[in-house]
A = this chain, B = another copy of it.
Amino acid sequence: MKDAMVIPTYQDMLDAHERIKPHIRRTPIRTSDYLNDLTGAQLFFKCENFQEPGAFKVRGASNAVFGLSDELAAKGVATHSSGNHASCLSYAAMLRGIPCNVVMPRTAPQAKKDTVRRYGGVITECEPSTSSREETFARVQAATGGDFVHPYNDPRVIAGQGTCAREVMEQTDGLDMMVAPIGGGGMISGTCLTLATLAPEVKVIAAEPEQADDAYRSFMAGHIIADDAPKTIADGLLVPLKDLTWHFVKNHVSEIYTASDAEIVDAMKLIWKHLRIVMEPSSAVPLATILKNPEAFAGKRVGIIVTGGNVDLDKLPWI
């Protein structure tokens, strides 16, 4: 998988859905008359923040974990992540009863480490640098033999994330577009994978923080541009595209819109207030871009993926 790029197929997504259904939630769609009036669009928010571990990433992680043969599964899984992928992979491994090793920077928030450990994940800390992370991860993987599940550049993960768009299409009566945040591009790629076959008339739109707009610049340039350490309130969206996600972005995404951190925080507060759900700054980027580009969305039926709900309730960005 690491040498030749394996592009997941629509059938992979269908298989993933059958495989993971017993282990994930079919999350509801939330709507708000207030937000519809405000945007002039009809917005359908898919609440992936309601997954038990709080993020859509449980879909791809479960697909990877439950797709392993018993022999491979016995050695467990391994990844490097300081975010939702680490806790979702630990959660899926716990459900299957196999080990999960996670390399995390020692500077990662204590709450994220606690969540991984609550789900039985074993953390090996590294320094907060790429070289330390890669060296540490190689050592952990050599010692455990665990199957590497990349946070997004993995066909099993992308096929798993694609199940979300399939549910949205089942839960709504037709859409004009679907908007999701873009970081590494796992959710956007899964959405493209699914809609290209299931509903090619539905445009896929990516929403990105201005302060980490490497996907936007890649999209404009026609090749991957990766930033060194971008900083934005949308801390789930800091990572760059990789070859597999770039394949989907390049071929199927219609637009990438960006929004400033202040606009993201405003949109987040609007969602908390009017949809009454707890979600992360990263998940507010779609609404922020819709409010910023009303002409592109007015009169349209728009699916929005609320990607996650893990946020520090003691440090809300508007307080």
Complex CA gap A54/B277 in Å reads 12
A21 at the A/B interface (Cβ < 8 Å)? no
* Contact partners of A49 in chain B: CB under 8 A: 276
Question: Secondary structure of the A side of the interface?
Answer: loop
Complex CA gap A33/B30 in Å reads 22
Q: Are A276 and B54 in touch, CB under 8 angstroms?
A: yes
A309 at the A/B interface (Cβ < 8 Å)? yes
Q: What band does the interface of chain A fall in when counting residues whose beta carbon is under 8 Å from B?
A: 20 to 34
Number of copies: 2
Closest Cβ–Cβ distance, residue A114 to chain B (whole Å): 12
* Contact partners of A34 in chain B: CB under 8 A: 52
A319 at the A/B interface (Cβ < 8 Å)? yes
A145 at the A/B interface (Cβ < 8 Å)? no
Closest Cβ–Cβ distance, residue A197 to chain B (whole Å): 29
Using a CB–CB cutoff of 8 Å, the interface residues on chain A facing chain B are 28, 30, 32-34, 49-50, 52, 54, 269, 272-273, 275-279, 309, 313-314, 316, 318-319
Given A50-B275, A277-B278, A313-B316, 18 further pairs, Cβ under 8 A: A28-B28, A30-B50, A32-B52, A33-B52, A49-B276, A50-B276, A54-B276, A269-B313, A272-B313, A273-B278, A276-B277, A276-B278, A277-B277, A278-B278, A313-B318, A314-B319, A316-B319, A319-B319
- 10 closest pairs, A vs B, by CB? A276-B309, A276-B278, A49-B276, A28-B28, A272-B278, A33-B52, A272-B313, A277-B277, A273-B313, A278-B278
